[in-house]
């Protein structure tokens, strides 16, 4: 029997997740789309109604207003809340889920709005309260974090006794024709890529200057691309959840035009999150920049090319060394044809739908606050193949120096 999800946010990622819920009406018999700008929810409802058996309702909500959000959750009585707003809202939505005793799923970890710094400690601190309330919180059900954690759990379950090295490689070879634009929320994206890099080695963090570590990698179905080491949130949870892991790194590809523009914007202060006075008004330069950049939701129609995101694992099984590369290749134009969005939103929205489904139907039930690699990966891996993100395995991949 189908169940009901309350989806918060109606941006690029949410739009894909909502299309996928509507394709999967057997699981999602009903969804309520609630966001700050209700007209976006209504427009999506109007687009999808008549194409799906899923019943769609909408609501206006400021998710930072915890009493109002709690009242909405209690009124709608969903089986799961899927948070696809921004990382700033995570704790408020977790508070409301706790008060209403409804399971919680998100795709990105909490980040305070006034400090460009993300880590899991704030969300992990809810663990005992979620256990006591008997509800599950699933953190990070996008692609990275998300599928990368599921890939790790799957590799550990089926192929390795121990994994010593993990390299997560995120390649977007899509071309949207603009000299500079970001593929998801520009504010979140630029905060992420302009931060210092870091990786986990032998039990501690090693910090680097932004973009200081550069490699070229020959991605399957794409070819050679420049990639740079970034700090990324799943490194923190994988370091905790993969016993004996010695090193975890995360690399993302960037083109020369993107990096040149980013450096220039940084040099003139446009990526700063410190408010400045402008003609008697306080403005945050990065938020102003977001307002003048192309809206990521408009990139789909013009983006061509593929993404390839995956993990290279090195470890041992029965005393013998083993290497595996698990990855997904996704085509921007095929995504646009199917759901009207480019592949970056698609590769996040599909796993968000899958995570919400598994928590909602009780396949993944474990009261407390958990990262995705703590659950049985098999049902998620099957669902990836079924719902548009088929995965591939290579036993002899090129390794990253
Ligand atoms: P968008 O900016 O496109 O959408 C955000 C949505 O949240 C908008 O609809 C916005 O409303 C709504 N929103 C913002 N603040 C509030 C609030 N206070 N109350 C209610 N609704 C609010 O972002 P994306 O879709 O690109 O990203 C969504 C999430 O996905 C982010 O957390 C991002 O970090 C994460 N992400 C995760 C990835 C992964 O692989 N794990 C990859 C890419 C993104 P409004 O329309 O009014 O602005």
Could you give the dihedral angle defined by the CA atoms of residues 137, 140, 141 and 144, in that order, rounded to the nearest 10 degrees? Answer: -170
CA of 247 to the centre of ligand 1 (A): 31
Distance CA 308, CA 303 (A): 15
Angle between helix 343-360 and 378-386 (nearest 10): 130
Residue 85 in contact with ligand 1 by CB distance below 6 A: yes
- Torsional sign, CA 351, 338, 84, 292: positive
pLDDT of residue 183: 81
Q: What is the pLDDT of residue 4?
A: 98
By most ligand atoms within 8 Å of CB, the mutation choice from 6, 8, 11 for ligand 1 is 11
| Concatenated DSSP letters of 330-363 | EEHHHHHHHHSS-HHHHHHHHHHHHHHHHHHTTS
Pocket test for ligand 1, best of 86, 108, 347 (most atoms within 8 A of CB): 86
Cβ 400 vs Cβ 215: under 8 Å: yes
For 238-279, the DSSP string reads: HHHHSTT--EEEEEEE--HHHHHHHHHHHHTTTT--S-EEET
Which numbered atom of ligand 1 lies nearest the CA of 92? 18
In which region does residue 41 sit, left (phi positive, over 0), alpha (psi from -120 to 50) or beta (all else)?
alpha
Say how far apart CA 301 and CA 281 lie, in whole Å. 36
Q: Which atom of ligand 1 is nearest to the CA of 345?
A: 43
Q: Could you tell me if the CB of 35 is within 6 A of ligand 1?
A: yes
Ligand 1 contact via 150 beta carbon (within 6 Å): no
According to DSSP, the residues that pair with 369 across neighbouring strands are: 137
Question: Strand 197-201 relative to strand 204-208: parallel, antiparallel, unpaired?
Answer: antiparallel
Res 2: pLDDT: 81
Residue of 82, 183, 184, 187 best suited for mutating to test ligand 1, as the one with most atoms within 8 Å of CB = 184
- Structure-token match 């979140």, residue found: 188
Q: C-alpha 359: how far from its chain's center?
A: 17
The pLDDT profile of the chain, 401 residues, written as one tens digit per residue, is: 789 999 999 999 999 999 999 999 999 999 999 999 999 999 999 999 999 999 999 999 999 999 999 999 999 999 999 999 999 999 999 999 999 999 999 999 998 888 777 889 999 999 999 999 999 999 999 999 999 999 999 999 999 999 999 999 999 999 999 999 998 888 888 888 888 999 999 999 999 999 999 999 999 999 999 999 999 999 999 999 999 999 999 999 998 888 899 989 999 999 999 999 999 999 999 999 999 999 888 898 999 999 999 999 999 999 999 999 999 999 999 999 999 999 999 999 999 999 999 999 999 999 999 999 999 999 999 999 999 999 999 999 999 99
Length of the chain in residues, anyone?
Answer: 401
Please state whether beta strands 80-83 and 3-8 pair in parallel, antiparallel, or not at all (unpaired): parallel
CB 304 within 8 A of CB 337: no
Q: How far apart are CA 244 and CA 5, in angstroms?
A: 37
Count Cα neighbours of 322 within 13 Å in the Cβ-side half-sphere.
Answer: 19
The Cα-based distances of 221 to 102, 308, 311, 374 in angstroms read 42, 8, 16, 31
Give the residue among 138, 43, 101 at the shortest CA–CA distance from 375.
138
CA distance 42 to 48: 10
> Kind and range of the H or E element at 124?
helix 121-124
Query: In this structure, what token pair is assigned to residue 228?
Result: 């740079």
**Ligand 1 closest atom vs CA 63:** 19
Secondary element (H or E) of residue 156: helix 147-158
pLDDT for position 311 = 98
């Amino acid at each position: 029997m189908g169940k009901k999800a309350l989806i918060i946010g109606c941006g690029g990622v949410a739009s894909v997740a909502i299309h996928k819920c509507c394709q999967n009406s057997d699981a999602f018999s009903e969804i309520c789309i609630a966001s700050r700008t209700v007209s976006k929810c209504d427009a999506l409802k109007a687009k999808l109604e008549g194409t799906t058996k899923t019943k769609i309702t909408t609501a206006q909500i400021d998710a930072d207003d915890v009493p109002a959000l709690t009242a909405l959750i209690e009124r709608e009585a969903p089986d799961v809340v899927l948070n696809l707003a921004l990382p700033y809202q995570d704790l408020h939505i977790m508070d409301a889920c706790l008060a209403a005793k409804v399971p919680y799923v998100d795709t990105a970890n909490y980040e305070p709005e006034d400090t460009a710094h993300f880590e899991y400690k704030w969300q992990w601190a809810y663990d005992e309260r979620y256990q006591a309330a008997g509800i599950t919180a699933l953190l990070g059900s996008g692609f990275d974090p998300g599928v990368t954690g599921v890939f790790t759990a799957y590799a550990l379950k089926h192929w390795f006794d121990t994994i010593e090295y993990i390299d997560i490689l995120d390649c977007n070879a899509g071309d949207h024709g603009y000299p500079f634009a970001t593929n998801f929320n520009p504010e979140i994206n630029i905060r992420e890529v302009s931060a210092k890099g870091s990786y986990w080695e032998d039990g501690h963090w090693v910090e680097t200057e932004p973009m200081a570590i550069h490699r070229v990698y020959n991605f399957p179905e794409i070819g050679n691309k420049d990639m740079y080491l970034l700090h990324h949130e799943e490194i923190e949870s994988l370091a905790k959840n993969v016993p004996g892991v010695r090193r975890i790194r995360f690399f993302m590809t960037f083109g020369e035009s993107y990096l040149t523009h980013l450096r220039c914007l940084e040099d003139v202060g446009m990526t700063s999150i410190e408010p400045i006075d402008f003609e008697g008004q306080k403005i945050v330069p990065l938020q102003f920049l977001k307002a003048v950049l192309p809206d990521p939701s408009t990139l789909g129609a013009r983006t061509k090319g593929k993404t390839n995101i995956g993990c290279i694992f090195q470890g041992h099984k029965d005393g013998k060394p083993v290497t595996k590369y698990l990855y997904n290749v996704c085509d921007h134009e095929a995504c646009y044809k199917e759901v009207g969005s480019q592949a970056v939103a698609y590769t996040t929205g599909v796993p968000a739908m899958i995570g919400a489904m598994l928590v909602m139907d009780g396949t993944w039930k474990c009261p407390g606050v958990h990262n995705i690699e703590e659950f049985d990966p098999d049902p998620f891996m099957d669902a990836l193949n079924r719902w548009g993100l088929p995965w591939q395995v290579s036993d002899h991949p090129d390794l990253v120096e």
